[in-house]
Amino acid sequence: MAIAPIDSEQRQHVRAETERYVRIAGEYYEREFPRIAVLFDLKGHTAGMFRYDGKRSVIRYNPWIFSKYFRENLRDTVPHEVAHYIVHELHPYRRVKPHGRQWQKVMDLFGADPGVTFDLDLSDVPQRRQRTHPYYCDCQFHEVSTTRHNRVQRGKGRYLCLTCNAELKYAGIA
């Protein structure tokens, strides 16, 4: 049986923790960081995600995973995503590694574990299912995600088989 997402009181607590970490960074770096939008619309196996779309920054949280592991996510996921936001604000025009030394420095400032893996049981958390598309190579058939399929169809990507190193070809009707 699937679990229910966190309620409005818990969401407010997560928002407050997010803002608290932003304030900690602001005090340390002696600057004010813009308020960041916090959404609870993430699905699947991902607990949190920082995103910048060219206009605004947003942190997205998975309300079902937070429901199942509320304390762990307050301790680990919230500072993790806020650290991504702070690094983006500090280095907006530089490409930095997502979990590189700049991000690790912010995680240290927060007193948070810079580990990037989430290894908890998510069997009763609703999962997002992405459609797959049939592809083949010289040695086997492959199931390719819609995202990758669309890249191939637009001519923006090509994928190779890890076994025979041949380019994957679409097996459906193009």
The enclosing domain of 27 has a CATH number of 3.30.2010
- What are the pLDDT tens digits along the chain (174 aa)? 668 889 999 999 999 999 999 999 999 999 999 999 999 999 888 899 999 988 899 999 999 899 989 999 999 999 999 999 999 999 988 888 989 999 999 999 999 999 866 677 776 676 666 788 999 999 998 989 888 999 999 999 999 999 999 999 998 875
Task: Assess whether 81 carries a catalytic annotation.
Answer: yes
Whether pTM exceeds 0.85: no
Q: Are residues 88 and 163 in the same domain?
A: no
- Residue 58's DSSP bridge partners are 37, 51
Q: Are residues 54 and 100 in the same domain?
A: yes
Distance CA 119, CA 75 (A): 15
In the sheet that 48-52 helps form, which strands lie side by side, from edge to edge? 37-39, 57-61, 48-52
- Rounded to 5 degrees, what angle do the CA atoms 90, 12, 122 make? 85
Of the residues 17, 19, 30, 81, only one is catalytic, namely: 81
The pLDDT, as a whole number, for residue 3 is 84
The pLDDT, as a whole number, for residue 151 is 93
> Residue 136, SS3?
strand
Q: Which long-range contacts (CB under 8 A, 24 or more apart) does 113-121 make?
A: 113/76, 115/76, 116/80, 118/45, 118/46, 118/47, 118/76, 118/77, 120/68, 120/69, 120/72
The pLDDT, as a whole number, for residue 128 is 64
The pLDDT, as a whole number, for residue 116 is 64
Q: Is residue 84 part of a domain?
A: yes
The pLDDT, as a whole number, for residue 40 is 95
Q: Are residues 14 and 74 in the same domain?
A: yes
The pLDDT, as a whole number, for residue 120 is 74
The pLDDT, as a whole number, for residue 145 is 87
The structural domain count of the chain equals 2
Query: Which domain, by its residues, includes 163?
Result: 132-170
- The DSSP H or E segment spanning 51 is strand 48-52
Q: Are residues 72 and 141 in the same domain?
A: no
The pLDDT, as a whole number, for residue 1 is 60
